[in-house]
Amino acid sequence: MDRVEGPGAKRLAGLTEAPDNSPDFVVPLASRLGNWQIVSWDRWETRTAFDFLTLAVAGTLAAGLALLGWVVAAAQRRALREVTARVSFVNRVSHELGAPLTNISLYLDLARDAVTAGDSAESARRLAVATEETGRLSRLVSNVLTFARNERGSLDLHPADCRPGEIVRGVLEQFAPALARSGISMETDLDDNACALLDPNALARIAANLVSNVEKYAASGGWMRVSLATVGGELVLRVVDRGPGIPASEAARIFLPFERLDSRLTEGVSGTGLGLAISRDLARRMGGEVTLDASEAGGCVFTLRVPATASVPAGTSAFAALPQPLPAP
């Protein structure tokens, strides 16, 4: 599109009306009659075209980066929660270690005073409480050491011929004074003749953690039942209580390390949040599982199932005493 303009930009030939945009080409012509110019506009239009392969690659990269960002952010949040939980865990362990140590020292002093005063009954009572606190301290330290060994990948089990009924009975005898003080009556149905090839220390640890769970969180029910039997080639240990129970939505979370329910169930209750996590891990290492179910009468039913291989000869006794804690890391 061309236009010839004379002096004063008057049209002499070509386009009647000049386009609104600036000309693409201007040729000035100087003469005696004035300054002329030839003005030209190219015919063009704007078109947009997309390369679908480029768009697909760019979209994939953008989605990948977004997903990576989400994963990194989630990992950071999870790491922050774990660090916070571990700091809280260290604080709780420090408190939990201090409480029984203080009680042991106190009751030993009181027992010594009672012995000095010639009161043998009172000294025996004080010593019994000190012994009980020693057991509590031992269980706490054992749980912490077991968790540390598991974190390092150095936790090994040592299966042996044993009578699980005797092991569980030994655990219950240790807890009897504490359960009585908490107002919890205990029923038992233990098959003392059952034999199995498993780690006796792990079984004792699991039983102790499940009973301790009742003592801490289900004392309001005032009752507990512990049963042990061999069913279909499995050793089945059940601990039933009539406490406030655990919501179904929290059933999975309570088996996670450091987790404690933020509700009236844990208000004023001390603990490290490791007992159930350790119990489930030990059970799985023995080829079994620990599960939680709701009780028909209210409360909880914790069930341990592990493969049982009868290997102790009839008429013999194995592991009549409670096994010692797993070795320190």
Q: What letter does residue 323 receive in the DSSP assignment?
A: P
Q: What pLDDT is attached to residue 211?
A: 93
Contact by Cβ (8 Å): 36, 5: yes
Residue 33: phi and psi, rounded to 5, are -85, 5
Residue 200: phi and psi, rounded to 5, are -65, -35
- Distance, in Å, from the CA atom of 16 to the CA atom of 109, rounded to the nearest integer, reads 117
Average pLDDT score over residue span 116-121: 81
Q: What is the pLDDT of residues 134-153, one digit of tens each?
A: 777 776 677 677 766 666 66
Q: What is the pLDDT of residues 246-290, one digit of tens each?
A: 877 777 788 887 666 544 444 444 556 678 888 898 898 888 999
Contact by Cβ (8 Å): 69, 61: no
Q: What is the pLDDT of residues 157-192, one digit of tens each?
A: 888 888 999 999 999 988 888 888 889 999 999 988
**Is the whole model's pTM more than 0.75, yes or no?**
no
Q: What pLDDT is attached to residue 43?
A: 73
Q: Which domains does the chain have, with CATH numbers?
A: 2-40 (no CATH), 160-307 (3.30.565.10)
Q: What is the pLDDT of residues 56-85, one digit of tens each?
A: 899 999 999 999 999 999 998 888 877 776
Q: What pLDDT is attached to residue 14?
A: 66
- Distance, in Å, from the CA atom of 198 to the CA atom of 162, rounded to the nearest integer, reads 7
Q: Is 21 a residue whose pLDDT tops 50?
A: yes
**Over pLDDT 90: what percentage of the chain?**
19
